[in-house]
């Protein structure tokens, strides 16, 4: 059958033979259903553009919705660029009024801004409002010490707090430390960022590290996903060089892995 959409000569239309193939038909239905559902679920939310009428379910309506989403994306990208410019204040140490010091090494403290720390973390806000910040008389600047972090990890944390993102290399290097920090200092956006990164990079090589961090941070969804992955790749994980040390350090997780494996075998 000649499809008037995806055939080699779609512009040759011969009524009443203007037919479409099954793939184009299902694709059209899916697009229209998607746009209709999006509008139905967002009827109570204010938007910057005119909402589509839920009763109009044609392709013209779908294309209008796509155009609106494109305009919204451009607006959001512009807003992200505007907000991320605050990162310049961190990179160039502009008018910094507090130091953030690592606790696991002797790296130098990093300058930051009280207002930003307080808005990014409720825990930081409480610390700043308490008497826990003390600075040397010579500097006259208050200091927060992150006892569980090294200098590079503190630097990565501050970069994320200012810009909302990290390079792939830096995220991969510090994702475990940042995940712990996100949990301790109650930074939901960083928590979600770390979770997405760990799920995207989940493999037999790092599954034990991820399940350990997920357990430590009480991230049940990440823990369940990683346990399921370990069960599906049991041989690779159990016979890896990392497993012996992991089992000694985390006997409760080893028990959970064993039970999950038996449950999987029983279900089959």
- Any domain includes 50: yes
More confident residue, 85 or 93: 93
Say whether pLDDT at 10 is over 70: no
Query: In degrees, to the nearest 5, what angle opens at C-alpha 126 toward C-alphas 178 and 176?
Result: 10
Say whether pLDDT at 48 is over 50: no
The phi and psi torsions of 254 (rounded to 5 degrees) equal: -60, -40
Say whether pLDDT at 121 is over 90: yes
- Any domain includes 42: yes
Structure-token pair, residue 98 = 């507090």
More confident residue, 72 or 63: 72
Say whether pLDDT at 8 is over 50: yes
- Any domain includes 263: no
| H/E run at residue 102 | strand 98-102
Determine the structural domain holding residue 66 and report its residue range: 22-84
Q: Are 176 and 209 in contact (CB under 8 A)?
A: yes
How confident is the model at residue 124, as a pLDDT? 93
Taking the CA atoms of 216, 218, 223 and 225 in sequence, report the sign of the dihedral they define: negative
Say whether pLDDT at 38 is over 70: no
Say whether pLDDT at 158 is over 80: yes
Rounded Cα–Cα distance for residues 25 and 28 (Å): 5
Say whether pLDDT at 184 is over 90: yes
Q: How many domains are contained in the chain?
A: 1
Average pLDDT of span 79-86: 68
Share of the chain above pLDDT 90, in %: 48
Band of pLDDT at residue 20, cut at 50, 70 and 90:
confident
How confident is the model at residue 40, as a pLDDT? 56
Average pLDDT of span 18-35: 77
| Secondary structure percentages of the chain, helix, strand, coil, to 5 | 60, 5, 35
How confident is the model at residue 52, as a pLDDT? 42
| H/E run at residue 87 | helix 87-91
Hey, how many other C-beta atoms are within 10 angstroms of the C-beta on 242?
14
Band of pLDDT at residue 187, cut at 50, 70 and 90:
very high
The phi and psi torsions of 243 (rounded to 5 degrees) equal: -65, -40
Band of pLDDT at residue 169, cut at 50, 70 and 90:
very high
Rounded Cα–Cα distance for residues 112 and 5 (Å): 57
Q: Which of 200, 219, 212 is nearest to 237 (CA)?
A: 212
Say whether pLDDT at 235 is over 60: yes
- Any domain includes 155: no
- Any domain includes 163: no
Rounded Cα–Cα distance for residues 31 and 66 (Å): 10
Structure-token pair, residue 113 = 């801004």
């Amino acid at each position: 059958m000649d499809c008037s959409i995806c055939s080699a000569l779609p512009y040759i239309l011969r009524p009443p033979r203007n037919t479409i193939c099954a793939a184009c038909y299902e694709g059209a239905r899916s697009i229209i259903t998607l746009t209709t559902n999006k509008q139905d679920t967002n009827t109570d939310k204010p938007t910057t553009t005119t909402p589509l009428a839920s009763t109009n379910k044609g392709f013209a309506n779908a294309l209008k919705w796509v155009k609106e989403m494109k305009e919204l994306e451009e607006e959001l990208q512009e807003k992200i660029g505007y907000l991320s410019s605050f990162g310049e204040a961190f990179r160039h140490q502009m008018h910094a009024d507090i130091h953030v010091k690592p606790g696991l090494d002797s790296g130098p403290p990093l300058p930051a801004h009280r207002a930003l720390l307080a808005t990014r973390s409720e825990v930081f806000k409480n610390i700043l409002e308490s008497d826990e910040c003390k600075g040397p008389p010579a500097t006259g600047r208050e200091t927060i010490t992150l006892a569980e972090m090294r200098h590079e990890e503190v630097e990565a944390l501050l970069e994320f707090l200012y810009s909302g993102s990290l390079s792939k290399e830096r995220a991969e290097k510090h994702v475990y430390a940042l995940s712990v920090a996100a949990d301790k200092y109650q930074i939901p956006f960083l928590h979600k960022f770390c979770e997405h990164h760990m799920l995207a990079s989940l493999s037999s090589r790092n599954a034990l590290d991820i399940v350990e961090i997920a357990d430590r941070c009480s991230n049940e969804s990440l823990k369940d996903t990683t346990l399921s992955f370990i069960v599906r790749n049991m041989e690779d994980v159990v016979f890896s060089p990392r497993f012996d040390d992991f089992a000694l350090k985390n006997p409760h997780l080893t028990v959970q892995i064993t039970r999950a494996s038996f449950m999987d075998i029983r279900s089959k």
